[in-house]
Structure 1
Amino acid sequence: MRTPSAADRWVTQLDRTLRAWAAVPQAQRARPAAAPTRPLTSEERRLSVALMRVNHVGEVCAQALYAAQSLTTRDPTLRTELTRAAQEEEDHLAWTAARLAELDGRPSWLNPLWWGGAFGLGLTAGLAGDAWSLGFVVETERQVEAHLAEHLTRLPEADAPSRAIVQQMEQDEAAHAAWAEARGARALPSPIPTLMRCAAKVMTTTAHRL
């Protein structure tokens, strides 16, 4: 089997892009299962929809980040590892999309915008070198992990299916951060994490409604 060329990798990432935007994502792992403890009230359902839409946006962005970073690395082993992490994030994308549909919710109308912004950030991090790219993974995943933990305090107790998904996502993000750190990530300069948190706040606030 021949080694994939740069063109092959770009076509593969284009396919991931189209699937992240428009297609029904396919998970390789079974979705975390939990039965609702009782029917959700209308207010609880609206809150769950808004929070799961935000989580779905985060997974769209994760596809873009890992796509850009896998395209820019020259290390084939790291590229394989990034692709593996991206597949786990695609599981999250599929799970959150399915749960939104069950709640009669919809994804964000601005998903192409979020994807483009995240791809640009991932490309910038990747071009800076593998150590900085991995440092970006660590900081991103730590911030996402904190965001998911906060969502677990806000999701209705009765919405056990959404809570099960978010709990598994939180575990996976922590594992991704630990992997990147062990792989030789460099800590990002102090202004960058702050700017990342500000950008994430804009995204999550907007996606909560749109």
Structure 2
Amino acid sequence: MTAKRRYSLFDQVIRQADQALRTLVPGAATAERSSPAEQREFTEMSEEERKHAAGLMRINHTGEVCAQALYQGQALTARLPEVRDAMEEAAREEVDHLVWCENRIKDLGSHTSRLNPAFYALSFGIGAVAGKISDRMSLGFVAATEEQVCKHLSHHMSSLPVQDEKSKAVLLQMLEDEARHATHALDAGGLRFPLPVKLGMSALSKVMTKTTYRV
């Protein structure tokens, strides 16, 4: 059996730069799965409803930008090859979410957040530090982050305009995937973060949601 290639630090840096560009440049990423929105019928919305839906989907898109950066940062510093591979696999699955949200935002006549580069850099740094501390910490951070994401998705599904079934279909599939990622991270030995840490993460996520809703 052919051994799996291991990349040098320079190779990894180039790969990370390529992934950052694919994440941050509109239209650069490609989804492996078709968007759940394609299975739902188009419905009319008022201008106010459309702007609100776009704002919520912009938040979710930025969340996926952060997820990409977090996973890539963790993969760069992970000690065990299997943990690194798991992070990279999770990042590939999250690309679908990234593309789905971006396309939905375009359909709603709006734009992705202009703050995405800053959030990407911050999340990459957090992921790299977590991976450097320990793989158990890194996996625990994934689980705690995905739990926060699931809460946001559930809230947004109830906050979307009633007739916006396309956006709801996207969020529903994202919710299923994110919950699975959290479970897998804990099953792999991830550290269960204490409540104070989770509250701190929740406060940080609120900053992201409030700033990206309109910007």
Question: Aligned-pair distance for 1:34?
Answer: 3.1
Count of matched residue pairs: 210
Residues 46 and 36 of structure 1, relative CA distance in 2, 3 Å threshold: farther
- Partners of 1:27 and 1:128 lie apart in 2 by 32
**1:19 equivalent in alignment to 2:19:** no
Q: Secondary structure at the match of 1:29?
A: coil
Residue 135 of structure 1 contacts residue 188 of structure 1 at CA under 8 Å; is this kept in 2?
Answer: yes
Superposed CA RMSD: 1.3
Question: Aligned-pair distance for 1:194?
Answer: 1.3
**1:28 equivalent in alignment to 2:32:** yes
State, as a whole percentage, how many aligned pairs show the same letter. Answer: 42
Question: Which segment is superposed worse, 13-22 or 57-66?
Answer: 13-22
- Partners of 1:8 and 1:181 lie apart in 2 by 30
**1:182 equivalent in alignment to 2:191:** no
- Partners of 1:37 and 1:103 lie apart in 2 by 11
Question: Aligned-pair distance for 1:37?
Answer: 5.7
Residue 27 of structure 1 contacts residue 91 of structure 1 at CA under 8 Å; is this kept in 2?
Answer: yes
Report the counterpart of residue 41 of structure 1 in structure 2.
Answer: 46
Report the counterpart of residue 165 of structure 1 in structure 2.
Answer: 170
- Partners of 2:166 and 2:183 lie apart in 1 by 27
**1:111 equivalent in alignment to 2:113:** no
Residues 6 and 57 of structure 1, relative CA distance in 2, 3 Å threshold: same
- Alignment gaps of 5+ in structure 2: none
With normalisation by structure 2, the TM-score equals 0.94
| CA deviation string 1:145-165 (max 9, x = no partner) | 011000000011211111110
- Partners of 1:2 and 1:202 lie apart in 2 by 40
Question: Aligned-pair distance for 1:189?
Answer: 3.6
Taking the TM superposition and a 5 Å limit, the aligned residue runs for 1:13-162 are 13-24=16-27, 25-32=29-36, 33-36=38-41, 38-162=43-167
Give runs of ≥4 in structure 1 deviating > 3 Å: none
| CA deviation string 1:97-149 (max 9, x = no partner) | 11111111100011111111111211121111000111100100001001100
- Alignment gaps of 5+ in structure 1: none
Q: Secondary structure at the match of 2:162?
A: coil
Question: Aligned-pair distance for 1:23?
Answer: 4.2
